[in-house]
Chains A and B, each alone.
Chain A
């Protein structure tokens, strides 16, 4: 093992401090007895139980989850299709333009995406609310899905799809029986990414929302302007918990699969001797 130098220890502490100090503070104060956020007055979970009686907050959470689920699912379908087109048909006209345009929203300032979507919805006379947020989230998350799926497809041995065709499967069957199961982990992580992006989006949702459709980030933001309450800290802690749990499960699943695979390979070679 290499020894830890003082410099290394300092960098690690500094790095993690910057990353997690604010979050740790937030979590600690969510268990604060006092109504004053910055004054510690002993441990309590009362703000968590009070959450259940805050109907507008719960409503916002429900809207957020529905938007995130719906938009992530549709963005996954569209993003996967875009990735397939980009990887498979490398010779079609306008490919460079298309791939550039798929990825543009990655670097586009959210304010601009939000504003342009708002203008579109106004122009076509779409009533703003739940559905416009969902549509907007599909727009800005599908490119993330496309990136994730595309990188998987690049290492995908296309001859296995050809083998399926060769054995009598139609292209559609070959896709669903062979390609999709093989790239499923990438598609799933694309979905998770889209889901979390939608979950914590504030800017685009604010632009495209209408009466009656307030997402959790919007709710939190508007409440904070009236002063931070421990209740907000509590709901944020729950959100952090959900996201952390999701990320941990996702990485554990991948890790386990890798370990299993390695073990299988070793076993196979041991069997041959």
Chain B
């Protein structure tokens, strides 16, 4: 059996009906005056899961995180954590810790004291605190910086202190609000993998809020794509990318070509669709769609082939056009092909070899084509 995308590890408690969710968000709504930030939202998050809330700013993801932390109370609905209803429990009595977007380090305290702060609130004996702080410093590789104040650290170091501080109390759940937002690109990529390793090593449940889809795709076991206070799709990164459940998700994650049209026939798990641009399409579809339904086929650019000759299966799943734009990114090249209907199709191809004989150029007449399982059929 084929499976979607690349599999990182065999961890899928959400697919197992016997496993119980660790955090259950049940029909939670949060209103600020007239504005509904979170709208009747339900979610399950499992132990040891790396869960990402992904969406544009203002979609309610941060509000949801703040409700988990206890800084906001739901207007209605409930949040259950490890069997305990969190309603009315203030932030300082919740078994969760949060890493803030601004890091929120205490500016008047040294790195050491920042990390120790939470432990002191618990009344932990002094020697134990010192030991735990050392452990944490080692974990984030900041042993040399114990006596420094936050303003004597670089952005990356501050991020590590914030992480160490929020992990020091060994919370059941770590909430991360745009944890890498303030770092530059290179550091961000490195840190993504470090966070993943850390989460594996400590066996914690992470809930991360981000607007960066690459970040969510890289780190998370599952992603909840949010928009206007609602969850649009919850799935693994591969499912989100390869099998989006709606136009919104298809369009929001990565690049996509949408071929609008109407269903003309269904045969043995395939849908036949006549696209507006005049391309007859045959595409896998698990859902039975009746004839005349308007639908769209979403295909990612890397699954579209550009060739000089028409493919064997033409005219089905193929279209003629000319190269309109070429973007060379080094690792790959992006072609914008303008079809006869006027639709511009994006196709990308990996530059697996350094030099090609007779490469495709501007204004050339080409064919675009795709396989019968290259995309998904989306109902409107």
Contact = CB atoms under 8 A, between A and B. Distances in A.
A181 B113 CA distance: 14
Nearest to A165: B91
A166 interface: yes
Contact of A267 (B69, B117, B152, B156): B152
Among B70, B98, B152, B156: residue with most chain A CB under 10 A: B152
Interface residues of A, number: 26
Interface stretch (B40-48, B104-112, B308-316): B104-112
Interface stretch (A155-163, A188-196, A247-255): A155-163
Interface string B92-130: 110011101110111110000000011001100000000
Interface residues of B, number: 33
A193 B344 CA distance: 68
Contacts of A171: 92
Interface in B133-163: 148-149, 151-154, 156-157
B182 to A, nearest CB: 13
A168 B107 CA distance: 18
Contact of B69 (A166, A168, A264, A269): A166
B92 A264 contact: no
Contact of B121 (A160, A173, A269): A173
Contact of A265 (B97, B117, B152): B152
Among A167, A169, A171, A271: residue with most chain B CB under 10 A: A167
B13 to A, nearest CB: 27
A166 to B, nearest CB: 5
Contact of B154 (A163, A177, A181, A269): A269
Contacts of B122: 168
A168 B169 contact: yes
A1 B102 CA distance: 40
A165 B169 CA distance: 13
A228 interface: no
A160 B92 contact: no
Contact of B118 (A159, A162, A168, A272): A168
A162 B107 CA distance: 14
B72 to A, nearest CB: 11
Given A164-B106, A173-B121, A182-B108, A159 B151 contact: no
Interface of A: 157, 159-160, 162-171, 173, 177-178, 181-182, 261, 264-265, 267-269, 271-272
Given A163-B165, A165-B90, 13 more contacts: A162-B104, A165-B71, A166-B70, A167-B97, A168-B92, A168-B118, A171-B92, A182-B106, A264-B151, A268-B148, A268-B151, A272-B154, A272-B156
Give the top 8 A-B pairs by smallest Cβ distance, nearest first. A167-B118, A168-B121, A163-B104, A159-B104, A165-B91, A160-B104, A264-B152, A268-B152
16 contacts: A157-B102, A159-B100, A162-B100, A164-B117, A165-B91, A166-B69, A166-B91, A167-B166, A169-B92, A171-B92, A182-B106, A182-B108, A261-B151, A264-B151, A268-B153, A268-B154
